Structures are given as structure tokens and as C-alpha cells.
């Protein structure tokens, strides 16, 4: 079997099968490549030189915020600093870049969660993005612990909790193997106890109905299609090395694990590439 497909890259689409393993599809424009079946095959990823903004289509020399040109990066609400730091939301100050977009995106149910990727971490995501968010982070376990009405509220809770737990994934450690299973429910209870004073203040300000504590959610367990873990993690950069080749050993998060190194496919969203594979 051989494959050769060209197009603009987007982050890999994912789904969980009945056994909890992730199935990956690689989008290139309107074409989708099934990736799980290519593990063990020789693959190549070649950047053809073009980058086109995923919002306006403008040709760009550089990608900002995973796929945007610089003008869109500076103007679009989805590229604002409050997306990465939702506790800094400024909608209530009347300075949102696009209030209609903010109402549709940020004023919807969000979850605060615990995930086990390179160890336990706290994070937030929209209600429609579970378990996708955990998969993209390479987490083998995920547990929602709060349901809230806005992204801003989720950010405030996360800011309170991360005094006691990290909010970052150590990607090199994540790619060297699966973290040991953790009792996320016990960690949740301990975390809430340690953060009780701050959480009660937020509940008094926003209301108990707005900030719903979750105690009956089940832990989602996720497995990734990996045949061999790398001993050393060497990351490829298409800006410096436009041709990446190797045998595909596995996929975790948004990373392809090759016998020659790893590549974060999401990082190169909007790049025009040619993907080839030969069994």
C-alpha cells in the first residue's frame, strides 16, 4: 500500500473506539488519511513552502497561534490572550474583540477537569470537547470535576486549583510512555479540600448553580496506538527541516512518533504539505 496526498494540514481528527483506543485521521484540505493502519510503515512529511491562514486564506510567511496570519492573529477573538488565560477575560469591560463570537464561544457550558498525561494536571474545555481535549494532550485518564456556565468562570476555578496542582503537560515525558494510573477521584477530593476557601469565594460571587461541583463522573481511560516508545525525544520543525522521514512507530496526542524523532502535527496547521506512506 502506498499513499501520496498533498494539502493544507489541520490537527488530526480523533475518536475513541469501543475499547478506548484513539483512532486518528489526518486532514489535508478535504482529504482524510487513516493513520492507525500506517503504524509500522515508512512515512514522509514534506512542507511544500506555502502557509495559508485558516481564517482568511491569506498567504503567510509564518503561522501564528497554530494557523493564523499576523493580521488575523492581532484581530480575531480566538487569538486573544484570554483564550490561553481565560481568567483574564475582558468581555465584561466591553473590550472583547468580537462580542457576538464571545457570547457563542465563551458563554457556554465549560468543564474544569483533571487529566493524567505526564502526571496529573488541571485544565478547562468546552463541554463539546471531551474527550477530544484529553486525547490532544496525550492523557491516558480524564475526569471532569466542575461544570460551569462560562469560560471565565472555568478560568477562575482553574486559577484557584493550580495553586496545588500543575496545569501543563510535559510533552517530552508524555511521549516516552504512559503515566501510571492515578486515582483521580481521590485527587479531586483532596484538591477541593485544599482549595475550599477560594472555591467558596467564587461560589458566593457567581452562585452555586453557576459553579457545579461534580462527584459522580466516571474516569475516562484512553489508550494510544503506539508500538514502540522513543528512548530520546527529538522534535522535528518543518520551518528548519522541510522534509521529515521515518518509520511511524505510534501516535500520541497530536504527535507522530517516528523512529527518527517526533513531530507535533497541530503545530503546523495551515502548512501546505505532501504526506507519503509506503508499507
How many CA atoms, within 13 angstroms, populate the side-chain half-sphere of residue 56?
Answer: 12
Q: Kindly report, residue by residue over 198-248, the tens digit of the pLDDT.
A: 999 999 999 888 899 999 999 999 999 999 999 999 999 999 999 999 999
Band the pLDDT of 139: cuts 50, 70, 90.
very high
Q: Which residues contact 138 (CB under 8 A, 6 or more apart)?
A: 117, 118, 169, 171, 174, 175, 224, 252, 253, 255
pLDDT of residue 209: 87
Q: Which residues contact 98 (CB under 8 A, 6 or more apart)?
A: 76, 77
Q: Kindly report, residue by residue over 73-103, the tens digit of the pLDDT.
A: 999 999 999 999 999 999 999 999 999 999 9
Q: Kindly report, residue by residue over 164-190, the tens digit of the pLDDT.
A: 999 999 999 999 999 999 999 999 999
pTM: predicted TM-score of the whole model, two decimal places: 0.95
pLDDT of residue 279: 66
Determine how many CB atoms are found less than 10 A away from the CB of residue 17.
Answer: 10
Residue with cell 467558596: 200
Question: DSSP readout, the chain?
Answer: -EEEEEEEB-PPEEEE-TTSBEEEEEEETTEEEE-GGGTTSEEEEEEEEEEB-TTT--B-SS-BTTTB-HHHHHH-GGGSHHHHSGGG--GGGT--S-HHHHHHHTSS-EEEEEEESSSEEEEEEEGGGTTHHHHHTT-SEEEEEEEESSHHHHHHHHHHHTTTS-----HHHHHTSPPPP--HHHHHHHHHHHTHHHHHHHHHHH-TTTEEE-SSPPPEE-B--BS---SS--B--TTT-SEEEEEEEEEETTEEEETTEEEEGGGGTTEEEEEEEE-
Q: Kindly report, residue by residue over 14-72, the tens digit of the pLDDT.
A: 999 999 999 999 999 999 999 999 999 999 999 999 999 999 999 999 999 999 999 99
Domain segments of the chain as ranges: 2-67+224-278, 111-221
How many CA atoms, within 13 angstroms, populate the side-chain half-sphere of residue 137?
Answer: 28
Q: Kindly report, residue by residue over 118-131, the tens digit of the pLDDT.
A: 999 999 999 999 99
pLDDT of residue 208: 83
Amino acid at each position: 500500500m502506498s499513499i501520496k496526498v498533498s494539502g493544507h494540514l489541520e490537527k488530526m481528527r480523533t475518536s475513541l473506539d469501543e475499547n478506548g483506543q484513539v483512532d486518528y485521521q489526518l486532514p489535508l484540505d478535504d482529504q482524510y488519511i487513516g493513520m492507525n493502519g500506517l503504524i509500522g510503515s515508512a512515512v514522509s512529511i514534506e512542507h511544500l513552502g506555502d502557509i495559508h491562514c485558516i481564517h482568511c486564506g491569506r498567504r503567510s510567511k509564518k503561522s501564528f497561534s497554530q494557523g493564523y496570519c499576523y493580521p488575523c492573529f492581532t484581530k480575531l477573538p480566538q487569538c486573544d490572550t484570554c483564550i490561553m488565560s481565560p481568567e483574564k477575560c475582558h468581555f465584561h469591560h466591553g473590550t472583547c474583540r468580537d462580542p457576538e463570537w464571545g457570547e457563542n464561544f465563551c458563554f457556554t457550558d465549560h468543564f474544569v477537569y483533571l487529566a493524567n498525561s505526564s502526571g496529573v494536571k488541571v485544565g478547562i474545555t468546552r463541554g463539546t470537547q471531551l474527550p477530544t481535549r484529553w486525547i490532544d494532550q496525550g492523557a491516558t485518564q480524564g475526569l471532569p470535576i466542575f461544570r460551569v456556565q462560562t469560560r471565565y468562570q472555568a478560568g477562575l476555578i482553574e486559577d484557584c486549583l493550580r495553586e496545588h496542582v500543575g496545569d501543563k503537560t510535559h510533552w517530552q515525558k508524555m511521549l516516552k510512555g504512559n503515566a501510571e494510573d492515578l486515582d483521580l477521584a481521590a485527587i479531586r477530593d483532596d484538591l477541593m479540600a485544599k482549595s475550599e476557601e477560594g472555591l467558596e469565594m467564587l461560589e458566593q460571587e457567581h452562585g452555586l448553580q453557576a459553579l457545579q461541583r461534580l462527584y459522580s463522573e466516571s474516569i475516562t481511560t484512553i489508550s494510544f496506538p503506539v508500538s514502540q516508545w522513543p528512548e530520546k525525544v527529538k522534535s522535528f520543525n518543518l520551518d528548519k527541516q522541510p522534509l521529515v522521514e521515518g518509520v511511524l512507530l505510534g501516535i500520541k496526542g497530536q504527535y507522530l512518533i517516528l523512529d527518527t524523532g517526533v513531530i507535533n502535527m497541530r503545530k503546523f496547521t495551515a502548512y501546505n504539505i505532501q504526506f507519503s506512506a509506503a508499507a
